[in-house]
């Protein structure tokens, strides 16, 4: 019997809990969103920018893609697809 294969933290299914207003809801981990969802429900967070993880996600996105915060989830997906295509063209480092 083989041992279960460990998965990288970024290679896990993400179950969005944050509201659609947050463009990072498909990139923040399920656990992170579940913790933050309570703050949204209590009204302690009313805009995505108030989330403690928003600035970190924005900085990481800039470092990886060179793009600012996308205006929508569709724009985020397009930026990530463009970045992925550019990486594929560049080949292995």
Tokens of 56: 């970190």
Contact status, residue 36 vs residue 45, Cβ threshold 8 Å: yes
Read off the pLDDT band of 4 (50, 70, 90). very low
- Read off the pTM: 0.74
Q: Where are the domains of the chain?
A: 47-93
How far, in Å, CA of 53 to CA of 50, rounded? 9
Q: What is the per-residue pLDDT across 36-61, written as a single tens digit (0 to 9) for each?
A: 999 999 999 999 999 999 999 999 99
Contact status, residue 15 vs residue 33, Cβ threshold 8 Å: yes
Select the more confidently predicted residue: 37 or 89: 37
How far, in Å, CA of 32 to CA of 52, rounded? 10
What is the enclosing helix (H) or strand (E) of 63?
helix 54-65
Cα angle 66, 69, 72; round to 5: 125
Select the more confidently predicted residue: 56 or 10: 56
């Amino acid at each position: 019997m083989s041992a279960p294969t460990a998965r990288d933290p970024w290679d896990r299914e993400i179950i969005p809990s944050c509201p659609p207003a947050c463009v990072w809801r498909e990139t923040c981990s399920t656990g992170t969103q579940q913790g933050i969802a309570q703050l949204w429900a209590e009204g302690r967070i009313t805009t995505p920018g108030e989330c403690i993880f928003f600035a970190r996600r924005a900085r990481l996105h800039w470092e990886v893609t060179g793009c600012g915060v996308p205006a929508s989830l569709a724009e985020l997906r397009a930026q990530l697809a463009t970045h992925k295509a550019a990486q594929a063209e560049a080949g292995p480092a």
